[in-house]
């Protein structure tokens, strides 16, 4: 039996952001809470746990920070925590005031395995509005010492420290404190350039109206800029409310995406446990050339490395939500805004191509299916942008041997409702003559039978465009390009493919979104029926024409799976075994593992086999993070061997 798959095999590290209840200046109570939350995080398999700024004393202790009694007790508590950490698996990062060289520093202590490994002081000390930290604390820039005697050993101290795990040498961790993130040049940016893939932030950010939104955006943006996982945790409501209230906001973001967020204002505190993907981060940094180029900004500065043991990744459950529909925005408000944006990108691309070429007529094949429907809607927006009439769009329905009455009728109704020029050309007679020319029996419904129809349709569109001095609008989508589910010399060709960057799941969503937009009221009923029609090339049929006989997803697999596979394969360069693992999380209860493996093999095989078609694909706009144009994102030899990728499954 093979060893069971672990998320650690694919580069996942389990982190936690803790917001324990705090009592101002009650170090013993605060230490007890830190230990309790550390134990909870340990029970959930966390490898790294970060606590709020000055959590051992409370952030709002004010002039009590000048009391040696408080400082001494905090130092003793840190050593107690270090001793207790010998019984705990995770790396703990806690906040406390540290006196050194006649100054006081707001400090993060890195603790595990029975000892304090390093101390990282805060760099940017706020002294404005409600913040008076400059009254008590000095900046890390003022440090002269590089070590602090603590518990019988010299502990490295400074903001120039990167933590590395001995068992995972590719994993580096950096630490900054609250205001450091708010500065124009956050220390985390430089730590990231030194290899830190996980940034921990101990914070005490009070809550104001709208501040949580700003904080959320700031954390997500810094994780994107530094291409890192950013783990942020802030002081909770146990802090003094004399002049401000602290809600206890914890956030985990990864490369611009917010993975998890705590509830605020919880008197019991919060604990977020999340699996972050440091393998993704490494790959993203490697291919982002500007990230490496930014290392020149370090100007010869050096950083120290502190090596330590990191607990191995433990068993499930997997602490990460895997989106089964990665191309579709998650929330209603975001979906509407994103849909409008995608639609606008498609239309703007087509409008530019028309205006540059001096062309005022568009020709497209309207089948009554999803892709051509979206292409028609985008064309309507494009002619609107250019001030052209709707009847300068020429929609042509070309029913063939597998065309159903339903799609044929929807094509005609949609064209009428949209006010575009419409004609129907039955291709069966022309294709039959061609079958005779090449000695193809009419009853042999093989790939030649199908491709003759696809190529005949394209020939008609191109020739009709010549007559009108028009442009043929392509309708094939990104998923079809990935799978090679198109006919070379047929629907593979167009003058401009508006759907080239839109995967099938997003095509469906965009048509659904458009059906509710102003301007499409007369087409709404037809658009809803198009959405309810099974996806089909309609190239073979049962001879009755009263239903959709040939169903694409029965032949090549569900598009929701293929789009998921495509996203992780092309966006994140993930190996098939990792994609399969993630698919099992995303589609648990909907597909069995063997079924996922089957369709993933189909995807990988077809993706490799179809690169030769993508090498000569028409122009079309990129609309998202995945595109397959050889002139844009994806360059791959058409004769690359697939064996290595199939073996990974």
Active site residues: 53, 122, 178
Q: Which helix (H) or strand (E) holds 305?
A: strand 304-308
| Integer Cα distance of 602 and 586 in angstroms | 19
| Integer Cα distance of 271 and 42 in angstroms | 11
Cα Dmax for the chain: 100
3-class SS at 186? coil
Strand partners, 100: 103
Sign of dihedral through CA atoms 647, 317, 37, 240?
positive
8 A C-beta contact, residue 326 and residue 563: yes
| Integer Cα distance of 498 and 124 in angstroms | 49
| Integer Cα distance of 467 and 74 in angstroms | 85
- What letter does residue 575 receive in the DSSP assignment? -
For 182, phi then psi, to 5°, come to -80, -15
Angle between helices 405-418 and 524-532 (to 10 degrees): 150
| Integer Cα distance of 316 and 297 in angstroms | 41
| Integer Cα distance of 199 and 223 in angstroms | 8
Output the six-digit token pair for 361: 């007529």
| Integer Cα distance of 49 and 274 in angstroms | 10
8 A C-beta contact, residue 474 and residue 500: yes
Sequence-distant (6+) residues with CB within 8 A of 490 are: 451, 454, 455, 457, 458
Sign of dihedral through CA atoms 263, 265, 267, 271?
positive
8 A C-beta contact, residue 178 and residue 211: no
3-class SS at 118? strand
8 A C-beta contact, residue 489 and residue 455: yes
8 A C-beta contact, residue 8 and residue 57: no
**Other CB atoms within 10 Å distance of the CB of residue 584:** 17
Output the six-digit token pair for 76: 């003793």
* Residue carrying structure tokens 């579709």: 328
Q: What Å distances lie between residue 625 and 121, 128, 196, 566, 592, CA to CA?
A: 38, 40, 24, 11, 28
């Amino acid at each position: 039996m093979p060893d069971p798959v672990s998320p650690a095999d694919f580069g996942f590290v389990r982190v936690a952001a803790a917001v324990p209840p705090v009592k101002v200046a009650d170090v013993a109570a605060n230490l007890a809470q830190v230990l309790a939350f550390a134990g909870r995080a340990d029970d959930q398999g966390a490898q790294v746990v970060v606590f709020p700024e000055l959590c051992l004393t409370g952030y709002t202790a004010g002039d009590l920070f000048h009391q040696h009694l408080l400082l001494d007790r905090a130092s003793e508590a840190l050593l107690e925590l270090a001793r207790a950490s010998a019984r705990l698996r995770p790396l703990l990062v806690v906040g406390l005031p540290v006196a050194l060289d006649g100054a006081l520093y707001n400090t993060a202590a890195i603790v595990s395995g029975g000892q304090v490994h390093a101390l990282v002081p805060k760099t940017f000390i706020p002294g404005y509005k409600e913040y008076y930290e400059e009254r008590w604390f000095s900046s890390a820039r003022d440090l002269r010492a590089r070590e602090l005697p603590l518990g019988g050993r010299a502990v490295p101290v400074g903001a120039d420290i990167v933590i590395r795990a001995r068992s995972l040498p590719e994993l580096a961790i950096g630490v900054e404190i609250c205001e450091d993130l708010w500065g124009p040049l956050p220390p985390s940016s430089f730590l990231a350039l030194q290899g830190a893939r996980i940034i921990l932030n101990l914070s005490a950010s009070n809550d104001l109206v709208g501040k949580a939104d700003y904080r959320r955006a700031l954390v997500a943006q810094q994780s994107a800029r530094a291409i890192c996982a950013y783990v942020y945790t802030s002081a909770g409501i146990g802090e003094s409310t004399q002049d401000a209230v602290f809600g206890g906001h914890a956030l985990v973001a990864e490369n611009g995406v917010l993975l998890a967020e705590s509830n605020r204002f919880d008197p019991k505190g919060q604990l977020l446990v999340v699996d972050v993907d440091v393998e993704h981060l490494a790959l993203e940094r490697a291919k982002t050339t500007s990230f490496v180029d930014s290392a020149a900004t370090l100007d010869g500065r050096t950083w120290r490395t502190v090596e330590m043991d990191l607990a191995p990744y433990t068993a499930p459950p997997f602490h990460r939500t895997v989106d089964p529909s990665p191309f579709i925005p998650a929330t209603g408000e975001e979906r509407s805004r994103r849909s409008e944006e995608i639609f606008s990108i498609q239309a703007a691309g087509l409008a530019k191509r028309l205006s540059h070429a001096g062309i005022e007529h568009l020709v497209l094949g309207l089948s009554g299916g999803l892709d051509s429907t979206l292409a028609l809607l985008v064309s309507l927006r494009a002619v609107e942008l250019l001030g052209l009439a709707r009847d300068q769009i020429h929609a042509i329905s070309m029913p063939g041997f597998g065309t159903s009455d339903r799609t044929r009728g929807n094509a005609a109704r949609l064209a009428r409702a949209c006010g575009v020029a419409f004609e129907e050309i039955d291709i069966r007679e022309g294709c039959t003559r061609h079958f005779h020319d090449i000695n193809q029996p009419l009853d042999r419904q093989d790939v030649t039978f199908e491709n003759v129809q696809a190529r005949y349709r394209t020939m008609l569109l191109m020739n009709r465009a010549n007559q009108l001095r028009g442009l043929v609008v392509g309708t094939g989508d990104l998923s079809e390009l990935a799978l090679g589910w198109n006919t070379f010399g047929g629907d593979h060709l167009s003058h401009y493919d508006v759907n080239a960057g839109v995967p099938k799941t997003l095509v469906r969503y965009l048509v659904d979104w458009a059906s509710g937009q102003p301007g499409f009221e007369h087409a709404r009923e037809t658009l809803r029926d198009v959405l309810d029609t099974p996806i089909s090339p309609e190239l073979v049929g049962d001879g009755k024409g009263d239903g959709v006989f040939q169903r694409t997803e029965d032949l090549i697999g569900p598009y929701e799976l293929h789009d998921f596979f495509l996203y992780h394969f092309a966006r994140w360069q993930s190996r098939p075994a990792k994609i399969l693992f993630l698919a099992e999380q995303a589609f648990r209860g909907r597909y069995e593992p063997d079924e996922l493996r089957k369709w993933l093999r189909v995807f990988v095989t077809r993706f490799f086999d179809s690169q030769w078609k993508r090498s000569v694909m028409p122009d079309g706009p990129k609309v998202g993070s995945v595109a397959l144009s050889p002139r844009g994102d994806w360059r791959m030899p058409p004769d690359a061997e697939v064996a290595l990728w199939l073996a990974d499954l």
